[in-house]
Amino acid sequence: MTSRVLVPMDGSEMSEHALEYALEAFPDGEITVLTVVGEPSSMWGAATGLALADDLEEAAQEQTQPIFDRAREIVAEADGDTELETVYALGHPVRAIINRAGDYDTVVVGSHGGSLADNLYVGNVAKKVVHQSPVPVVVVR
């Protein structure tokens, strides 16, 4: 029985579909939404703002808040009863997801997230999570 589900969300439509699927497939599960904020670097778009921020924690929370707000909207639209835990991590998406995956029964991930540039630099996150996860992974298209 699946009781703890990790759903990585990056603000993409596919990650929203992953959360919708998790809510439907695991109605009694404890669902955690994980958003990964890139480590500060002048080469990584939104993470550049983190590199310049006085308070890294506050800047990361500001970047993740819209994603968490949307996740709560999806839960409210789906059933409104599911308690949703939201967490964020700093770093590389695949590593951050894999580092947390062992604490869950399954990971539900969207198949295509991020921009073209993200895919060129990082590769397909879902594919790498499938190959490296210590727990089963459901890929939602």
Structural domains in the chain, CATH included, are 4-140 (3.40.50.620)
List residues bridging with 139 in a β-sheet.
109
Residue partners of 18: CB distance under 8 A and separation at least 6 = 7, 8, 9, 108, 109, 110, 138, 140
* pLDDT tier for residue 7 given thresholds of 50, 70 and 90: very high
* pLDDT tier for residue 114 given thresholds of 50, 70 and 90: low
Higher pLDDT, 71 or 79: 71
* Distance (Å, whole) CA 76 – CA 88: 21
Residue 71: per-residue pLDDT: 97
